[in-house]
Every structure is written in structure tokens, then in C-alpha cells.
Amino acid sequence: MLVLRGVLAVAMILCGLAILARMLMTVAAGFAVLPGIVLAAAMIALGAHRISLILRARRPV
């Protein structure tokens, strides 16, 4: 189960990075890309948060 959660978290980070890259490519559109950048940042943050929880759960007491 932890492995599956880990895969989902990594997938979320990758999706976030893909959106971020796509937004940065169209940065010429100006203000319009801002919500997309925040969306990407939130996805990366959630993925990282999930991975940190998984790592904490796997750490021996």
C-alpha cells in the first residue's frame, strides 16, 4: 500500500512539473499563466508532502 501511495505521489509531482514546464513555455501570455503556475506548485507540494509522510512511516522507531 505504501508503494502504491509512493507511486501516486511521484506521479503527482511529475504532473506538477509537466504543468509548470508548459506554463513557463507560454510565460509570454503574462498574467494568464499565474493560476497554472500556482496549480503546478500545489501539486508538487502535495506530492512532496505525501512522500515525506511515507518516508516518516517507513523510518524504524
Residues binding another protein (CB under 8 A):
22, 26, 29, 31-32, 34-36, 38-39, 42-43, 45-46, 49-50, 53
Nearer to another protein, 26 or 60 (CB): 26
Nearer to another protein, 10 or 42 (CB): 42
Least spacing, CB of residue 31 vs another protein, in Å: 8
Measure the N-to-C terminal CA separation of the chain; round to a whole number of Å. Answer: 20
Nearer to another protein, 3 or 28 (CB): 28
If phi > 0 it is left, if psi is from -120 to 50 it is alpha, else beta; for residue 59 that is beta
Question: Are 47 and 10 a contacting pair, CB within 8 Å?
Answer: yes
Cell of 29: 501570455
